[in-house]
Amino acid sequence: MPDFSEEGLDHYLLNRVDLRHRTVGRRVEEVLTVLRDLTTEVSKKDGRFQSIAHAGVNNENIKDQPAMVSKWAALLRGRCSFNPAIQVLTSSLVLVSVPVRGLIGYHEHVARQWRYYSLTGSILPTPVREPEKLHQWLELESFTSPAQDWQDAKVCVEGDIVPAKVVSLFREQLETAILTCSFSGKVSILESVGSVVRVAIETAEGVMEAELVPTVELINYWPKKARWPRLLHRWPTTERARCIKSFGFNLMATSNYHWLLSFSRAEQALLVAVDEDGGCRRKCYRVVRQLKEDTWCPGTKPVITAFHLQTLLFWCCEKFPCGRDWRCVKECVLRVARKLLKCVSQRYLRHYFVRSYNLLKYSNTTELDHTAQKINDFIANPSLYVH
């Protein structure tokens, strides 16, 4: 039986991890090309939506903030290219943020407590449930100068911008764009649960699915719910944390009434510079991610995604902030695997920025139990899986 060694890990990285990374990278590039064309066409028909080429610091809403663009460019200089619109969740599923236009000058204020309207605008006898910790309402009053289009009844009810209505409008425009761009044989809209547009895209190396989510990008603003960095933190540095917070956050239209807080730019900024001290955190993350894809929970809808693993890595970085704690890939992989086993077994993984929210709260418990058993098997005999 082969040993679980540094040499075995290097072989695994070269023959499994790097190969998968290149394959997924080619598929994602093809998907991005298609989605750029589609979202550009959608933007021509409805100015409330932008092309994904304008996501992040390329957003037209911040074109008058050159210092922010320069800061982001400096952070990514010399590192892998990154499209801020996309998050690769599995080898066959990506999450794509479609930026909106015309909502400028965001500020938080005390929202009214109760809503009694349905998605069609009719009056309900009982109030709509309040948002959970990682969600919020979005009122027109939160913006100093919202475009007139956002006051349209197609997207707004009683002063609220309603995510389900925004998604419905985007879906209509996307269906038209698929025909206009002659992508009918390449792109198909799938049935999906909740307020999400899910599409399947034919690529040269197989089908890739994408969840397209209209997104309000709020750059240079940090939400009060995200009490980060924590007191007496040692990772990341104070200067890096200040820089990361300036990139702001997003509000994503993933549910009927409430907008989901997302910190994709902040997470990417943490990840690209995670090994500035010469550690092996990124290599460890890639090994664990490959194990998840191959063994722990494969498939297009796994109970644990790359986002969960990334969150776990950030927590491990806080607990072990020094570079000397990240010198041995073998030990670090086992450390992260043990931490993941604990989270999955207890069905509790805190969101990194909004720590009161449990990312596994609504996960399938049977699938979590199966995943925990597979992780435990790996920890007991890692050489069976990595060699």
Q: Where does 8-164 show beta strands of DSSP type E?
A: 86-90, 93-99, 135-136, 156-157, 160-161
Q: Which domain holds residue 324?
A: 275-386
238 with 164, same domain: the answer is yes
63 with 113, same domain: the answer is yes
Instruction: Give how far the C-alpha of residue 254 lies from the chain's centroid of Cα atoms, to the nearest Å.
Output: 12
Examine the fold and report which residue of 273, 297, 326 is the final residue of a domain before the chain moves on.
273
Examine the fold and report which residue of 238, 273, 308 is the final residue of a domain before the chain moves on.
273
Radius of gyration of the chain (CA): 21
What confidence score (pLDDT) does residue 68 get? 62
299 with 246, same domain: the answer is no
Neighbours of 345 (CB within 10 A): 15
222 with 307, same domain: the answer is no
20's enclosing H/E stretch is: helix 18-45
104 with 199, same domain: the answer is yes
What confidence score (pLDDT) does residue 53 get? 92
What confidence score (pLDDT) does residue 384 get? 92
198 with 208, same domain: the answer is yes
Q: Sign of dihedral through CA atoms 6, 7, 8, 12? A: positive
Spell out the per-residue pLDDT of the chain, length 387, in tens. Answer: 457 888 888 889 988 999 999 999 999 999 999 999 999 999 999 999 999 998 876 666 666 666 666 666 666 655 555 577 899 999 999 999 999 999 999 999 887 889 999 998 899 999 999 999 999 999 999 999 899 999 999 999 999 999 999 999 999 999 999 999 999 999 999 988 777 899 999 999 899 999 999 999 999 899 999 999 998 889 999 999 999 999 999 999 999 999 999 999 999 999 998 999 999 999 999 999 999 999 999 988 899 999 999 999 999 999 999 999 999 999 999 999 999 999 999 999 999 999 999 999 999 999 999 999 999 999 999 999 998
What confidence score (pLDDT) does residue 246 get? 92
316 with 262, same domain: the answer is no
How far, in Å, are 226, 251, 272 from residue 221 at the CA level?
A: 11, 12, 21
Which domain CATH number covers 335?
A: 1.10.1410.40
Tokens of 189: 């809209």
234 with 326, same domain: the answer is no
Burial 241-265 (b: 16+ CB within 10 A, else e): bebbbbbbbbbbbbbebbbbbbbbb
Domain assignment present for 357: yes
Contact present, 382 and 288 (Cβ < 8 Å) = no
What confidence score (pLDDT) does residue 84 get? 77
Instruction: Give how far the C-alpha of residue 264 lies from the chain's centroid of Cα atoms, to the nearest Å.
Output: 5
Cβ partners under 8 Å of residue 17, min gap 6: 286, 287, 289, 290
Q: Which of 31, 33, 49, 301 is CA-nearest to residue 167? A: 49
What confidence score (pLDDT) does residue 1 get? 46
State pTM to two decimals. 0.93
264 with 329, same domain: the answer is no
Instruction: Give how far the C-alpha of residue 181 lies from the chain's centroid of Cα atoms, to the nearest Å.
Output: 27
Domain assignment present for 282: yes
Domain assignment present for 6: no
Contact present, 259 and 138 (Cβ < 8 Å) = yes
41 with 125, same domain: the answer is yes
Domain assignment present for 175: yes
Contact present, 89 and 196 (Cβ < 8 Å) = no
Domain assignment present for 11: no
Query: How many domains does the structure of the chain reveal?
Result: 2
What confidence score (pLDDT) does residue 192 get? 80
Contact present, 315 and 290 (Cβ < 8 Å) = no
Domain assignment present for 197: yes
Examine the fold and report which residue of 273, 307, 329 is the final residue of a domain before the chain moves on.
273
Contact present, 167 and 154 (Cβ < 8 Å) = no
Domain assignment present for 13: no
Domain assignment present for 63: yes
204 with 347, same domain: the answer is no
279 with 262, same domain: the answer is no
